[in-house]
């Protein structure tokens, strides 16, 4: 259980950092206000991504195992 939570925490954090940075840049461009907009977007994304990664990762693993058979 601890490994599943830690994995979800790390996966959700890494994915939310990259995705929010990319999407914020695409939608608003780079200027002096970019870091603030990105941090705000990342915080919201992180709140969604981490619990979702913890919940979905076992299902994704099961699906991957079935597809590999």
The pTM (predicted TM-score) of the whole model is 0.81
pLDDT in tens, 4-53: 899 999 999 999 999 999 999 999 999 999 999 999 999 999 999 999 99
pLDDT at 41: 96
Which string of b and e fits 3-32 if b means at least 16 CB within 10 Å?
eeeeebbebbbebbeeebbeebeeeeeeee
């Amino acid at each position: 259980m601890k490994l599943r939570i830690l994995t979800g925490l790390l996966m959700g954090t890494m994915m939310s950092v990259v995705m929010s940075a990319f999407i914020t840049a695409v939608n608003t461009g780079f200027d002096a206000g970019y870091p603030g907009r990105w941090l705000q977007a990342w915080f919201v994304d992180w709140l969604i991504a981490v619990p979702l990664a913890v919940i979905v990762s076992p299902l994704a693993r099961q699906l991957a195992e079935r597809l590999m058979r």
